[in-house]
Every structure is written in C-alpha cells, then in structure tokens.
Amino acid sequence: MTGKTADRLVLKALDGEAVWPPPVWLMRQAGRYLPEYRKLRASAGNFIALCTTPAMATEATLQPIRRFGLDAAILFSDILIAPWALGQKLRYAEGEGPLMERLETLSDLDRLDLNRLKAGTEPVMEAVARVRAELPPETTLIGFAGSPFTVACYMLEGKGGNFARSLALTYSDPGLVASVIELMTTATIDYLSWQIEAGADCVMLFDSWAGLLPPDLFRAHVIHPTTRIVDALHLRHPGVKVIGFPRLAGLMALPYIAETGISGFGMDTATDAAALARLLPRSVALQGNLDPLLLRAGGVSLDHAVERIAGELAGLPHIFNLGHGILPDTPLEHVAQLIERLRSLPQRLLEDSREHATSRI
C-alpha cells in the first residue's frame, strides 16, 4: 500500500492489525432509513435502474459516507444483479422484496449465459470507479457479491422466505442445485474480479442463508465454492482481502474460517464475539456484530453494547458493524450516536483488555 491508501483502517484490520478504536461501517448503510436515499429511490422509479445507472448507484453509495463519515463505503447494488445480468428475470416488488422467474429444471439454466455477465455488469463497474474517485482517500471501498448458495436460493425459489423448495431440491435434485452453484461460482469470480479492477479495495461475500444447511451440505455448498472464489481472486489479485459472512453458521464458522482463505469474518447477531475470538488464529479480522434491533432502540443500552463488543475484541483486528442489515425505521440519531460513542472509546478499555489477556496466560 502506498501513500493515502495506507490510511484505510478497514484494510489495516483485514491485514491483521488491531486498530483502536475499531473502524466502523454498517451493513445496508445505504438504504431506506436515509431520507436522501428515499428521494433518490423515488426518482429512479425502479430498484434495478437505481443499481445499474452509474450516477445513481454512485450517489447512493456516497450518501451514508457524507452524512456519517463511516470508515468504509459499500458499493450500492444487490446480490441478485449478477443472476439478472446472466439473463434471469428479476423485479423488486414494493413490500415483497425480490421476485425472480425461478429455475425449475436443468434445461432452464440454458436461458442463462455467462457471456452476458460482462456487458450486464458494466454499469456496476463504472459506479465502482466513480465512487473510488469521489471517496475520501482514507475511506475503504468494499465491493460485494452474494455467495453462490444464497443467490442460488433465490434463483431456485423465485422469492425470499424460508427457501423450503431450494432446500428440498438439495436432496431431490442435487444435480440442479450443484449446477446453479457451479454457474454462480464461475460468475462470482469474474464479477468480483472486475470490481477489484474497477477500484474496490476489498470484497465481501454475503451468505445470508448459509445457516440453513446441515454440516455436510454446508461444506459442499458454502465452504467449497467460497474457497474456490477466494483462491481464484488471490491468483488474479495477489493480497486482495475477502470478507465472508455465512450468517447463522454456528460451529461451522470454524472450518469456514480455517479453510476458505478469507481475511475477515462477518459475525451475525447470534455470534458470541468473545468466545469466537478465543478460538481463532489472530490474523483473521472479525466484523460485527451489534444487534440491528438495539441500534433501532438506541439509549444507554446501545452505548453499553458498543462498549462491550469493542471491549471484548480490543487488541484484536476488529471492524465494527451490525450483525445483520440496518432496519429501515432506524432513527438517524442512533447511527450518529453509535459512531460517536465508538470513536470516543477510552484508551483505558484497550489497556484493560491487555491486562486481562496477560492475566489469563
């Protein structure tokens, strides 16, 4: 890293460095809780247009940075833009979330074409380049994709929910599930690689539904494709950092961290940060994991939770975040309170944690 790039605190943490106080960004930090986002969203008409018009995607990405001065910006897009670019029909219905024309059989996969990915995601790459050019030099830019399993859940189900059909298919039509995951693994390697080339400093894989799988299928559909993606990205972009977020993985977090080659692990709300930290190789950064409901609730409980989470991970590489996305009805003042509280955490908390660590040995 050279010059100002060296000041990007999120990258430092991903490099295994303990930064105090920890850098902070929030999952879904661009979104409906921001009045300026709601205005932009209304002017765009539909959500896909918002994601695929570079000027608008750039604006949405920068809005939370301007308002709160977070340490990282995350590209404004969605995990379903990649399968959409391959040719799968997608729309976002008000109040219903994403709706896709679902894949019924292997032959439906013929409608999807890897050769379309480049042209279909060109506007995303332009947005990445514009954001990087406009961001303050010390702000990290995070590119992202959905992980193959989570994206496959939507492709096979056609909508969100409990993914009963997608999960049943893992047993009744394993060939279909494996083919969709294979296609998305190949697509994701290119898609993330292009984001890095366009200016993303690091990338994150969102695996929101990983925790629905039993251990053997978690290995096959989560750990294996994630490892392939991380290995391929490292080959193409030596040293690039990948953050993994296999939500609700439970104990499978351990082989996921040990085997995939990720540099950062996104902890969901249910993760005991202190317990996980004790089990880890020091070089993996932990990201998370304030309860989004507590951010919405605010008050002194919010202050205490910020202090507790940061305190538990003090002296370790940590990126402060939520355990899942910010809720649309979160008051803006609570976000400001969180950041202020975090940035004014006393040095004492770090020193206390050091004493604690020494007394444990």
- Comparing CB distances to ligand CP3, the nearer of 83 and 311 is 83
Q: Output the DSSP codes for 107-144.
A: GGGGG--GGGHHHHHHHHHHHHHHHHHHS-TTSEEEEE
Q: 78, 122, 197, 303: which one contacts ligand CP3 (CB under 6 A)?
A: 78
Contact 77, 57 (CB under 8 A): yes
Q: Does 27 bind ligand CP3 (CB under 6 A)?
A: yes
Q: Does 47 bind ligand CP3 (CB under 6 A)?
A: yes
Please report which residue ranges of the chain form alpha helices under DSSP H: 9-14, 35-44, 47-52, 54-68, 81-86, 117-134, 148-157, 164-172, 174-198, 215-218, 224-236, 253-260, 273-278, 292-297, 299-312, 332-343, 347-360
105: Cβ–Cβ under 8 A, 6 or more apart, which residues?
Answer: 176
Site map 220..259 versus ligand CP3, x via CB under 6 A: ----------------------------------------
Stretch that binds ligand CP3, among 90-98, 230-238, 279-287, 295-303 (CB under 6 A): 90-98
* Residue 270 CB, nearest approach to ligand CP3 (Å): 14
Contact 24, 342 (CB under 8 A): yes
- Comparing CB distances to ligand CP3, the nearer of 74 and 203 is 74
Q: Does 31 bind ligand CP3 (CB under 6 A)?
A: yes
DSSP-derived letter for residue 62 is: H
Query: How many residues lie near ligand CP3 (CB under 6 A)?
Result: 22
Q: 30, 85, 127, 345: which one contacts ligand CP3 (CB under 6 A)?
A: 30
Q: Does 69 bind ligand CP3 (CB under 6 A)?
A: no
Instruction: Please state whether beta strands 72-74 and 140-146 pair in parallel, antiparallel, or not at all (unpaired).
Output: parallel
Q: Which residue is nearest to ligand CP3 (CB)?
A: 208
DSSP element (H, E) containing 245: strand 242-246
Active site residue ranges: 28, 32, 41, 78, 154
* Interface ranges with ligand CP3 (CB under 6 A): 27-32, 41, 47, 74, 76-80, 92, 97-98, 144, 160, 206, 208, 325
